[in-house]
């Protein structure tokens, strides 16, 4: 089993995926243990010296001007966790919970939070022994971080709340007991250090970015297959056009398209169109693939950069800097960087779906498909008696429309909280959750395009496909058979969507066609 070392500095999105989905073991190095101890020792000196420290000997939020006597400091932390456990709705998936726990542990490992080493070690032990807190998905406004979701996580750490363990949902206390983990007795600052941060939005964001990178590459494969099915023109992918407008994503998408169709006898040069089935250039949903999918590539790359900074950041408040002799209160918990990035990611993913749906509509429309049968039904199957892919396109249209609603940005919204003291919030959790929904919808739409395009190229002749697209066709057909007459397609669409997320089609593409990340 892979081991992931946390030091607050070098965690990558791929590491988050390994822990979230493959249950990789998490390890705390000795250097980190020393940093955490140093931070805690310095904080305890400040507390003993009666320094005023937010969240340690003061109330929270609008109650920050209320001083807490020394004998109530520990009760303050327990009350914080209980009072902030107000999440509602369906619980987060196990994968997101694991990512959330990892990211919280990694930010604490930076040594700026002032918690005890044993507290960090217990959180990591829960993760490694698969004690997964039940965390309601709704309740965060993204500042002061994802308070409610993180509070539900910490409830289990202190032996309260509910947890999923060995496939069953039981009390947090019982889950810890079964896993042979001692609950934590929170000390000064530990409650606020554990729940003040952006780990929910960032956990969802990290997984979404990883899956978005798989989707954009698969979208290029689907586009190339549709290009051949529609007897398209290859001129739009020429490197001279891309050099004239050298956006990174555009250049990469164009290069990938050319690699996928190498050797194709179905596409042609616009300057060499010889009959009415061949045109000098294609509709935008084919011709503008480098510009549209390329721009989406660039947006996904931006989201990756932001997320990878965030997963290695200290996001609680206040922060302890032992070497400088400082304990400072600030706003690193504010989710605006992630909120903005997740809204951009959601919009970019919605564009993938929008773009794909237009090609699906063209593939099934006999007036627009360059001679393909209506709804891609074989002539011997009696069109009319059989509807073929007619309603598959309707599903793609429904998902596309839903994505347009979901793509409305959350980051521009704010609603004051905590008696108007926390008067501008990020709505980062909402932005991340919307992006994840759009991602899944666009995976479905792309799966439908793969289904339709694979059917369509059979009318043109599989032997005429390009090197890369032929591999794609073969991979699709291993998952779903050709449509000879009407059958239920729902499960097949689901299988193809899962294949996109599992990168089953891409593995062969990257190896055989050398398409780029």
Catalytic residues: 54
Helix ranges (DSSP H) in 183-335? 190-195, 199-229, 239-243, 248-260, 284-287, 289-310
Compute CA distances 304 → 308, 337, 341, 345, whole Å.
Answer: 6, 12, 9, 9
Beta strands 136-138; 326-328: pairing state? unpaired
What does residue 233 show for φ and ψ, rounded to 5 degrees?
-110, 135
**Spatial distance between the Cα atoms of 260 and 224, rounded to a whole number of angstroms:** 7
What does the DSSP 8-state code read for residue 68?
-
Q: Are 108 and 36 in contact (CB under 8 A)?
A: yes
Q: Sort 121 into a burial class: Cβ within 10 Å, 0-12 / 13-18 / 19+.
A: middle
> Cβ(505)–Cβ(476) under 8 Å?
yes
Cβ(93)–Cβ(164) under 8 Å? no
C-beta of residue 207 within 8 angstroms of C-beta of residue 17: yes
Question: With 0-12 CB in 10 A as exposed, 13-18 as middle and 19+ as buried, what is 180?
Answer: exposed
105 CB contacts (<8 Å, ≥6 apart)?
6, 26, 28, 120, 123, 124, 127
Copy the structure tokens of residue 498: 């899962």
H/E segment holding residue 91? strand 88-91
- For residue 261, the Cα-to-chain-centroid distance in whole angstroms is 30
- Contact, 146 vs 431, CB < 8 A? no
Strand partners, 321: 326
- The tokens for 80 are 């914080």
C-alpha 13/C-alpha 345 separation (Å) is: 15
Burial of 208 (0-12, 13-18, 19+ CB in 10 A): buried
Alpha-carbon torsion angle 85, 21, 107, 186, nearest 10: 40
* Distance set, CA 403 to CA 276, 408, 442 (Å): 36, 9, 8
3 state DSSP class of 171: strand
* 3-class SS of residue 110: coil
Nearest partner of 134 among 160, 102, 103, judged by Cα? 160
């Amino acid at each position: 089993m892979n081991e992931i070392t946390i030091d607050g500095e070098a965690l990558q999105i791929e590491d988050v995926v390994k822990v979230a989905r493959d249950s990789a073991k998490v390890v705390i190095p000795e250097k980190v243990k020393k940093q955490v101890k140093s931070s805690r020792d310095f904080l305890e000196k400040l507390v003993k010296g009666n320094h005023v420290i937010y969240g340690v000997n003061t109330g929270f939020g609008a109650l920050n001007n209320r001083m807490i006597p020394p004998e109530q400091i520990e009760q303050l932390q327990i009350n914080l966790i209980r009072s902030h456990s107000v999440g509602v709705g369906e619980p987060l998936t196990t994968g997101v919970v694991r990512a959330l726990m990892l990211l919280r542990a990694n930010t604490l490992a930076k040594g700026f939070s002032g918690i005890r080493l044993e507290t960090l070690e217990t959180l990591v032990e829960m993760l490694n022994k698969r004690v997964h807190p039940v965390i309601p998905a709704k309740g965060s406004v993204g500042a002061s971080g994802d308070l409610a979701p993180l509070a539900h996580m910490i409830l289990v750490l202190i032996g309260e709340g509910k947890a999923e363990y060995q496939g069953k949902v039981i009390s947090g206390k019982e889950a810890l007991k079964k896993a042979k983990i001692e609950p934590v007795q929170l000390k000064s600052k530990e409650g606020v250090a554990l729940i003040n941060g952006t780990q929910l939005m960032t956990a969802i964001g990290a997984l979404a970015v990883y899956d978005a990178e798989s989707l954009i590459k698969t979208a290029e494969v689907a586009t190339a297959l549709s290009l051949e099915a529609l007897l398209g023109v290859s001129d739009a992918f020429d490197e001279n056009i891309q050099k004239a407008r050298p956006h990174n994503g555009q250049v990469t998408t164009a290069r990938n398209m050319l690699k996928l169709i190498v050797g194709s006898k179905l596409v042609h040069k616009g300057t060499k169109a010889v009959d009415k089935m061949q045109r000098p250039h294609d509709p935008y949903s084919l011709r503008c693939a480098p510009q549209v999918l390329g721009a989406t590539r660039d947006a996904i790359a931006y989201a990756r950069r932001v997320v990878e900074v965030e997963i290695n950041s200290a996001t609680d408040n206040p922060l302890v800097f032992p070497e400088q002799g400082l304990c400072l209160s600030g706003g690193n918990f504010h989710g605006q960087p992630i909120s903005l990035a997740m809204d951009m990611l959601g919009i970019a993913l919605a564009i993938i779906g929008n773009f794909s749906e237009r090609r699906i509509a063209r593939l099934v429309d006999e007036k627009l498909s360059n001679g393909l049968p209506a709804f891609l039904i074989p002539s011997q199957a009696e069109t009319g008696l059989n509807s073929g892919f007619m309603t598959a396109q309707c599903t793609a249209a429904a998902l596309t429309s839903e994505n347009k609603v979901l793509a409305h940005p959350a980051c521009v919204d704010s609603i004051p909280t905590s008696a108007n003291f926390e008067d501008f919030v990020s709505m980062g959790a909402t932005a991340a959750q919307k992006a994840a929904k759009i991602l899944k919808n666009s995976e479905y739409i792309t799966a439908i395009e793969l289904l339709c395009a694979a059917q369509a190229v059979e009318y043109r002749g599989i032997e005429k496909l390009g090197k890369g697209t032929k591999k794609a066709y073969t991979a699709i057909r291993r998952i779903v058979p050709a449509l000879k007459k009407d059958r239920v397609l729902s499960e097949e669409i689901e299988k193809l969507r899962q294949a996109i997320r599992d990168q089953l089609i891409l593995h062969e593409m990257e190896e055989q066609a050398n398409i780029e990340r």
